[in-house]
Amino acid sequence: MFYTIQSMADARQSKAGWGGDGTSSRGASKRRPAGEASPVLEKSIGLLQVRYGPRVIQPASTLSHRSAPPHVSTGFVQLDALTGCGGVPLGAITLFTGRTTSGKLTVAYKVLANAQRTSGRLAGEHRSREAPLRGVAILDLTYTANPDYLARCGVDLEHLLFARAPAPDQVMDVIFDLARGGLRLLLVDGLPDLLRDVAVARRFDAVLPELKMMLASLPCAVLFVDEARPPWLRWLRPESGGIAHCAALQVDLQREQWLEHGRDLIGYRAQAQVVRSRWARGGQMVPLEIVFDDTVRARETW
């Protein structure tokens, strides 16, 4: 029988060269049948369970696999696969970064559209069998949200709420209230404008862990869209790492090339890199193709 603590115990034994009962581990394994714990180990486990409770140490065979959380698809199959959780996770913070015209906002709008379309029980959602259709919201810090482009991305404007916070101090309160308001997804556009003020950035970093903890109990995703700053500006003003630290998923987008049909631009190809994911290995990249044709749609790249 293997216990979750056993690997650590084995490491100690191999380092010291002694078994728990004073004999070498090689000799002990010869004398005991496979799968049977030594009496010393069982005694230690018993002591731990008496002191800290029966769930402090459990057999590894009883642990379930880490399942994917409730999520919303990004609309790009390959990117969904790369995130490890099937898209943008609910109940967590997600961060999209990228330079201007890298396509981060378009991908974010696609996520909004998918969040609206996902009716009833979400993929990976186990808490409620029949979740009601919820709306989505955009916290438009730059006042540049374009409803026409949103509609072309497939977002239903009937189920979309715009919030325009007049003061930076008000932003975090609005995020908390909207996240608690039963929304499926909240998109915060224009993070650089918010963090330009040092005092606001400091407060933002301070309340992020609180937001992260609150979201863990809510079926709501908060998606921040951040602008990647050039290196020289990063050297002048070090950027706060609070959002990157608290984000369960961070995706960086870079525009690779424009797609042309004759002399017309019909879209662009971008590279999406999963910088950080709680459910998958980071650093993997995938190409995305976004095509404009009255509507904005994702094109599979294989």
Site residues, another protein (CB under 8 A): 133-135, 145-148, 150-151, 157-166, 170, 173-174, 177-178, 181-183
Question: Minimum distance from CB of 157 to another protein (Å)?
Answer: 5
Minimum separation from the CB atom of position 133 to another protein (A): 8
Of residues 45 and 137, the one with the C-beta less far from another protein: 137
Residue 132 near residue 184 (C-beta atoms within 8 A): no
Contact at 8 Å (CB) between 218 and 182? no
By beta-carbon proximity to another protein, the closer residue of 152 and 276 is: 152
* CA separation for the pair 294, 149 (Å, rounded): 9
For residues 113 and 246, which CB has a smaller minimum distance to another protein in the complex?
113
Question: Which CB atom, from 173 or from 293, has the smaller least distance to another protein?
Answer: 173
Are the C-beta atoms of 197 and 77 separated by less than 8 Å? no
Contact (Cβ atoms closer than 8 angstroms) between residue 141 and residue 197? no
185 class by beta-carbon count within 10 Å (0-12 exposed, 13-18 middle, 19+ buried): buried
Q: Would you say 36 or 169 has its CB closer to another protein?
A: 169
Q: Which residue has the tokens 């497939």?
A: 154
CA atoms within 13 A on the CB side of 279: 21
Taking the least distance from each CB to another protein, the nearer of 63 and 167 is: 167
CA atoms within 13 A on the CB side of 302: 6
Least distance CB 151 / another protein (angstroms): 5
The contacts of residue 95 (CB under 8 Å, 6+ apart) are 223, 224, 226, 243, 244, 247, 249, 250, 251
Smallest separation (angstroms) from another protein to the CB of 210:
18
For another protein, the closer of residues 56 and 157 by Cβ is 157
Output phi, psi for 141, to 5 deg: -80, -20
Closest approach of Cβ 177 to another protein, in Å? 5
Report d(CA 248, CA 244) in Å as an integer. Answer: 8
Q: C-beta of 174: minimal distance to another protein in Å?
A: 6
DSSP characters over 249-284 = EEEEEEEEEEEEETTEEEEEEEEEEEEEESSS-S-E
Shortest separation between residue 291's beta carbon and another protein, angstroms = 18
